[in-house]
Chains A and B, each alone.
Chain A
Amino acid sequence: MKIHLPYAGLLLTLALAPWIIPIIGDPFWLSVLTEIIIWSCFAASINFLFGYVGLLSFGQALFFGFGMYGVGIGISSFQLPFWPAFFLGPFSATVMALITGIFAVRLTWHYFAIITVVFSLIFYFLALTLKSITGGDDGINFSLPDLFNFMGYTVSLTNTTTQYFFTLGVVVLCFWLIKIVMSSPYGRCLIAIRDNDVRASLIGINVYKLRLSAFVIAGFLAGVSGALFALFGRYASASYMFYHVSGEGVVWAIVGGVGTLLGPAIGTGVFILIREVVSSHWQHHALIVGAFAICIVIFAPEGIVGLWKKYSKRGPK
C-alpha cells in the first residue's frame, strides 16, 4: 500500500508539531491544533455524506453529541474506565445513526437536509429537558480516567502532548479508513449514487441500503469527534448539539473542498485558525469568518482544495 508523498509530509509535520510549535510560538497553539484535528473529523463526517454520496446532512451535531455524552455520561454516571467510555461514545453515535438513518435516508436533497436538522433539534431539546443527566446547556464536567496504568507508569490525556498524539492517531486512522473505503467498490457505488441515483439503481445498486450504510459511517465519524472532544475538554454540553454546530461543520467542509479527502481538515483548520488569530486581537472575529465564507463561495466554489488542484494543474509546463 503506497503512501503518497504529500500525505507523508503532512503526517510528518503533524507528528513533529509538539516540538516545532513551542519554538515558533506559544505552546497554547498545540491545544488549538488538537482542537482543529478533532473538528476535522466532524467536518469529514459531513463531507463523507455530502461529497461522496450527495446527501447534505445538517444534523451531524446530533451524533457528535452522542459521542460526547457517551464518554461524559459513561465516566460521570457509570464510572467507566477510559477505554470502555471511549468506546461508548462512537458506539452510541453509530446506533443513533442507524436508527435515525432508517427514516432520514428515505428522503433526498432538501427534505433530507431538513429532517436531519429536525432530528438533531429534537435531541437537543431532549438533552435540555433531561438536565439532570446532561447538565443542559451548562453541561457536565468530569475528570479523566487514565489511559493506561501499568506498574506505576501512567499515561493520561491530561498531558497535552499525550492528548495531542492520541487525538492525532485516532483521527488519522479515521481519515485512512475513509480513504480505503472510497477506493473500494463500495466507495464507487456511493459516487455512482451521488452522480445519478436513478442510473445507480438501474445497474443493480440498492440505493437505500447503501445510503443508510454511508449515513451510519458518517454518524460513527461524528461520534468519534464528539468522544475526542469530551476527552479534550473533560466536558460535555447540550449546546454542542445545536444546529449551529452542524452548520459550522458544513461551512468548513464546503470551504475546504467537497468530495476531497483533506478538504474538511483544511477548511476546519482555516476557520479555527482565523477565529483564534483574529479573536486575540479583535473581538469581532465573526465578521471576518462570515466574510471569508462568502468570499470562498463566490470566488472559489470548489473550495480551497479545489483551488489548489486547479492551480497545480496549470502549474509549470
Chain B
Amino acid sequence: MNQTIIALAINGIVFGLIVALIALGLSIIFGLLDIINLSHGDFFMVGTVFAYTTLSVLGHFWPALIIAPLIGFALGALIQFSIIQRIKNNAALSIVATFGLSMIIQEIVRMTFGAAPKRIMPPITGTFGMFGIEYEWYRIFAAIASIVAIGSFFIFLKSTKLGVWMRAVRHDRDTATTMGIPTQKVYLFTFGIGFAMAAVGGVIAAPITTVDFRTGVDILPFCFMAVIIGGLGNLPGTVAAAVLLAFLEGVISGFATPTIARIFSLVLMSSVLLIRPQGLFKGLTK
C-alpha cells in the first residue's frame, strides 16, 4: 500500500510536469492575448496524435519531439492569423471561437485518426528499483524532458529579443506598441508557441496515456486550475501549481478514487479563487 502511494505520488509529479508545460502555453495565450482558449486541451491531444503517427509512419518515436513543436507552432500561428486576430482580443467571443475550434479539431482527428483509443509503447522500456518499487524508466525521461522544455521556455523568455517583447506586451500592451514592438507578430508567435508547447507535452505524454480524440477535454480543466492557482500571469507559479495539484491528486487517489482526488483539487481551487484570487504563489512573480 505504501509503495503504491509512492508510485502514485511520483506519477503525479511526472504528470504535473507535463501539465505544467501545457498550462504555460495556456497562460501566455491568456496573459498576452486575453483569450480564454477552450481548444488548448485539444492542442495537447494533437500532440499525442503526432507521436502515434510519427511512430507508425517513421517507425521511431523520437522524431516526434522535433516534428510536433514545429508543426504545432505553424498551426498555432495559422489559427491566430485566421481566427483569433479577427476577434480583436474580445474574451467572450474568444470563448465561442475556441469552442468551435475545439469541435473542429476533435472532429478532424476523429475523421483521420479514428474514434477508437490507441496506445503506443514507450520508446524506453524497463524499470529500475527506487524507494522499494519498480519504476518505469520512461516516466523519468518524461519528467526530465518536461523540465528541459519548461526550462528552455523560461530561458527563451528572459534572454531572447522575442521573449523580452512577449514580456513587455504582457505587462503593458499599449506602451509596448508605442515603443515600436511589433505586437501583431508577438501575438502570432505567442499562439504558435502555446500550441507547440502543448503539442510537445502531448508527445511526451503519449506513451503513458491513451491517444484518443477526447483526451483534450479532460486535461483542459486541469490546465486552467494550474493557471489560476498558480496565479494569472505568474508563470513559475503555474508550474508549481501544476506539479503540486498533480502530486496531491496522485497521493489522494491512493486512498480514494481518482474522481475524489479530482474533487479535492476542485475544492482547493474554489478556495483559492475566493480567498486569494491572485494565486498561491505570489512571491514567485517576476
Is B151 located at the chain interface by the 8 A CB criterion?
no
Is A115 located at the chain interface by the 8 A CB criterion?
yes
Residue of B nearest to A131 (CB): B259
In this complex, the interface size class of chain B, counting residues with CB under 8 Å from chain A, is: 35 or more
Q: Is the CB of A289 within 8 A of B270?
A: no
Q: Is the CB of B90 within 8 A of A110?
A: no
Among B95, B96, B104, chain A packs the most CB atoms within 10 A around the CB of B96
A293-B96, A297-B87 are known; give 13 further A-B pairs, CB within 8 A: A58-B95, A110-B91, A111-B228, A111-B277, A115-B270, A119-B270, A121-B266, A129-B263, A247-B38, A247-B95, A251-B99, A251-B100, A284-B110
Give the distance to chain B from A121, nearest Cβ to Cβ, in Å: 5
List, in ascending order, chain A residues with CB within 8 A of B239's CB: none
Q: Is the CB of A122 within 8 A of B92?
A: no
- How many angstroms between the C-alpha atoms of A114 and B285 in the bound complex? 21
Q: What is the number of contacts between chain A and chain B, taking CB atoms within 8 Å?
A: 117
Is A99 located at the chain interface by the 8 A CB criterion?
no
Is A222 located at the chain interface by the 8 A CB criterion?
no
Is A250 located at the chain interface by the 8 A CB criterion?
yes
| 5 cross-chain pairs, A with B, having the tightest CB-CB distances, nearest first | A293-B100, A290-B103, A290-B104, A290-B100, A286-B107
Is B6 located at the chain interface by the 8 A CB criterion?
no
Residue of A nearest to B221 (CB): A121
Name the one of B107, B111, B267 contacting A290, with C-beta atoms under 8 angstroms: B107
Q: Is the CB of A290 within 8 A of B101?
A: yes
Residue of B nearest to A296 (CB): B96
Among A115, A119, A125, chain B packs the most CB atoms within 10 A around the CB of A125
Can you identify 22 A-B contacts, CB atoms within 8 angstroms? Answer: A56-B95, A103-B270, A111-B228, A114-B224, A115-B270, A115-B274, A118-B221, A118-B273, A119-B270, A125-B260, A129-B260, A129-B263, A248-B99, A250-B99, A251-B99, A254-B92, A254-B96, A255-B96, A290-B99, A290-B102, A290-B104, A298-B86
Q: Is the CB of A111 within 8 A of B273?
A: yes
Q: From residue 247 to 286 of chain B, which have CB atoms closer than 8 A to chain A?
A: 257, 259-260, 262-263, 266-267, 269-270, 273-274, 277
List, in ascending order, chain B residues with CB within 8 A of A284's CB: 107, 110-111
Q: From residue 261 to 317 of chain A, which have CB atoms closer than 8 A to chain B?
A: 284, 286-287, 289-294, 296-298, 301
List, in ascending order, chain B residues with CB within 8 A of A39's CB: none
Q: From residue 95 to 121 of chain A, which have CB atoms closer than 8 A to chain B?
A: 103, 106-107, 109-111, 113-115, 117-119, 121
Q: Is the CB of B99 within 8 A of A298?
A: no
List, in ascending order, chain A residues with CB within 8 A of B225's CB: 118
- How many angstroms between the C-alpha atoms of A34 and B224 in the bound complex? 35
Is A243 located at the chain interface by the 8 A CB criterion?
yes
Asked if A106 meets B274 with Cβ closer than 8 Å, knowing A290-B103, A293-B96, the reply is yes
List, in ascending order, chain B residues with CB within 8 A of A247's CB: 38, 95, 99
Residue of B nearest to A253 (CB): B96
Q: From residue 113 to 164 of chain A, which have CB atoms closer than 8 A to chain B?
A: 113-115, 117-119, 121-122, 125-126, 128-129
Is B217 located at the chain interface by the 8 A CB criterion?
yes
Is A50 located at the chain interface by the 8 A CB criterion?
yes
Q: Is the CB of B111 within 8 A of A301?
A: no
Q: Is the CB of A254 within 8 A of B266?
A: no
List, in ascending order, chain A residues with CB within 8 A of B80's CB: none
Q: From residue 81 to 140 of chain B, which have CB atoms closer than 8 A to chain A?
A: 83, 86-87, 90-93, 95-97, 99-104, 106-108, 110-111
Among A107, A250, A293, A294, chain B packs the most CB atoms within 10 A around the CB of A294
- How many angstroms between the C-alpha atoms of A129 and B93 in the bound complex? 34
Give the distance to chain A from B40, nearest Cβ to Cβ, in Å: 13
List, in ascending order, chain A residues with CB within 8 A of B46's CB: none
Is A199 located at the chain interface by the 8 A CB criterion?
no
- How many angstroms between the C-alpha atoms of A220 and B187 in the bound complex? 41
Q: Is the CB of A117 within 8 A of B97?
A: no
